[in-house]
């Protein structure tokens, strides 16, 4: 039994990190821009479709451009639509991003059709590694490594670069940053683009694991929202810990109470919110109070 638990725990950890990658972009966009981005799952799907198309036509090297392109699409969306919502009623953001999610799904269906498209891990990453009871595929090891690298790189960017400091300052007091002569709209566009880039990266990595179809956003967006809520809205560390928690709890529930597997993360969220309504690492932010 211990073998099975260990095996499921490791698998849950990998799954959790994939969820983290989806959730971090959502958390960053909320934390910096104050927008609850219901369209985040759509950018995840766009990333998967772009990776699929680039891989099919030019190979895996080109597919690596998919997150970047997703980020650029995100910046365009921010420039055209999202920036009109800053400082407005939060409900407007919910409605607009929800409409965007439906719109992008419809566009994907229109362009690529409703049927799932075949997309598998690259051949050089086929196979798995067995260590005692633990089985993990080579592709999932790469997913884990890329996710950890992306999270560390983004955290370092925010902590140690001048632009990262501007972003963090802007998230706390946008008006003050503007008064200092910094071009805040460009900063905010970049933040939205980075959030979408992370969603696109998650989409690119998930495409070979999950089914690539226009509705694939639904499978990503709900765990992402649960993770952001558990971790605390806008908290980077909270999203990481919550993602791992959700992954491991889901895997363990599948092992022992499979009928409850879809409900497990929601029960976890309810329990944590009962104990700590702001989530694990949620802070009191003046601008949202």
Residue 105 binds another protein (CB under 8 A): yes
Residue 224 binds another protein (CB under 8 A): no
Residue 266 CA to residue 237 CA, distance in Å, equals 20
Site map (CB under 8 A) of another protein, residues 136-175, x = contact: -x-xx-----------------------------------
Among 92, 95, 102, 179, which residue interacts with another protein (rule: CB under 8 A)? 102
Among 92, 115, 186, 237, which residue interacts with another protein (rule: CB under 8 A)? 115
Residues 6+ apart with CB under 8 A from 277: none
Per-position b or e across 107-130, b if 16+ CB within 10 A of its CB: ebeeebeeeebebebeeebeeeee
Helix (H, G, I), strand (E, B) or coil at 86: coil
CB of 137 or CB of 273, closer to another protein: 137
Query: Where does residue 53 rank: exposed (0-12), middle (13-18), buried (19+ CB within 10 A)?
Result: middle
Residue 259 binds another protein (CB under 8 A): yes
Residue 215 binds another protein (CB under 8 A): yes
Give me the residue label for tokens 């699409």.
73
The distance of closest approach from Cβ of residue 260 to another protein in the complex, given in angstroms and rounded to an integer, is: 10
Per-position b or e across 251-282, b if 16+ CB within 10 A of its CB: bbbbbeeeeebeebbeebbeebeeeeebbbbb
Q: Which stretch binds another protein (CB under 8 A): 85-93, 154-162, 218-226, 234-242?
A: 218-226
Residue 15 binds another protein (CB under 8 A): yes
Residue 178 CA to residue 165 CA, distance in Å, equals 14
Among 86, 210, 266, 285, which residue interacts with another protein (rule: CB under 8 A)? 210
Binding-site ranges for another protein (CB under 8 A): 3-4, 7-8, 11-12, 14-15, 102-103, 105-107, 109-110, 113-121, 127-128, 135, 137, 139-140, 206, 208-216, 218-220, 250-251, 254-255, 258-259, 261-262
């Amino acid at each position: 039994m211990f073998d099975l638990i260990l095996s499921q725990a490791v698998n849950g950890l990998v799954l959790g990190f994939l969820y983290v990658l989806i959730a971090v972009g959502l958390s960053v966009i909320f934390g910096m821009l104050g927008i609850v981005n219901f369209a985040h799952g759509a950018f995840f799907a766009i990333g998967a479709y772009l990776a699929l198309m680039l891989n099919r036509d030019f190979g895996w090297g080109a597919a690596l451009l998919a997150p970047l392109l997703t980020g650029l699409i995100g910046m365009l969306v921010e420039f055209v639509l999202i920036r009109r919502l800053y400082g407005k009623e939060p409900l407007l953001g919910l409605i607009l991003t929800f409409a965007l999610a439906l719109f992008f799904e419809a566009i994907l269906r229109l362009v690529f059709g409703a049927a799932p498209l075949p997309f598998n891990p690259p051949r050089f990453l086929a196979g798995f590694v067995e260590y005692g009871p633990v089985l993990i595929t080579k592709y999932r090891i790469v997913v884990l490594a890329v996710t950890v690298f992306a999270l560390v790189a983004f955290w370092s960017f925010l902590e140690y670069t001048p632009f990262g400091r501007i972003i963090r300052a802007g998230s706390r007091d946008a008006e003050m940053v503007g008064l200092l002569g910094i071009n805040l709209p460009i900063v905010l566009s970049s933040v939205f683009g980075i959030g979408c880039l992370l969603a696109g990266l998650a989409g690119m990595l998930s495409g070979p694991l999950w089914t690539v179809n226009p509705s694939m956003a639904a499978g990503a967006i709900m765990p992402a929202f649960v993770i952001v809520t558990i971790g605390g809205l806008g908290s980077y560390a909270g999203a990481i810990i919550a993602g791992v928690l959700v992954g491991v709890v889901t895997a363990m529930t599948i092992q022992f109470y499979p009928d409850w597997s879809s409900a497990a993360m929601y029960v976890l969220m309810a329990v944590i919110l009962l104990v700590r309504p702001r989530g694990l690492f949620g802070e009191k932010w003046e601008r949202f109070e």
